[in-house]
Structure 1
């Protein structure tokens, strides 16, 4: 019992000493050293002459890359290895029927010319009034036809 009492008194004394130390540190002003004075540069910046132009020459404009046509963007989407040819593997296995329809010479390589010719025919077929413009209604005709879904899940 005597040990517990001595331990409690010792803990109380340690807490009291900590509080006194904390209060003493809080009441003291902390001295923050003043920052060093700024270094003055002896050389001033040069001044422009009175007749100097306000602005210099414009920077050169970067060359603009030619914008790819919509068909080239679509073609490049399939041309994975960028060899300017779309192979059957690049066209995806599920699209072999569409690939065969586009590959007019049957060499299992689709050139951009073959791609553009097929797309041009598709555009011409959708342009009913032959004005070289597709209206919303005409454009809807270019969408691939969806296969009919079965009526029941037999």
Structure 2
């Protein structure tokens, strides 16, 4: 009987300890906010420099710009022809035999060509160094667009 009482007491102490540890982690000190810079005060009789004009915000949001790009004749509506026309040239590039249909091979021609170019030893399999040559080239962003 004493073993059961000691086990229950040990379990209760364990749960209490876990609770206090959990509470202690939840109440860690918060980092202080960055100090706010003091406002520039003008001395009596001294004029402050003029505030430069803020750049005007573009009233069109992202979706309006996307709509405007698709609406080629600016009539406020997008017809099926306006939506399909920009895709004709890319489709024609993929349709190698000009039959108006894309086979899987025609659709995958870039991937197939990339594989064949990377397979330097013509083994029909890419080794790790050969596969590394197929990595996409990353476009570097300018450090700053400031004038």
Asked if these proteins are the same fold (TM beyond 0.5), I'd say: no
Structure number with larger C-alpha Rg: 1
Q: Could you tell me the TM-score, scaled by structure 2's length?
A: 0.31
Q: Give the number of the structure with larger relative contact order, counting CA–CA contacts within 8 Å between residues 6 or more apart.
A: 1
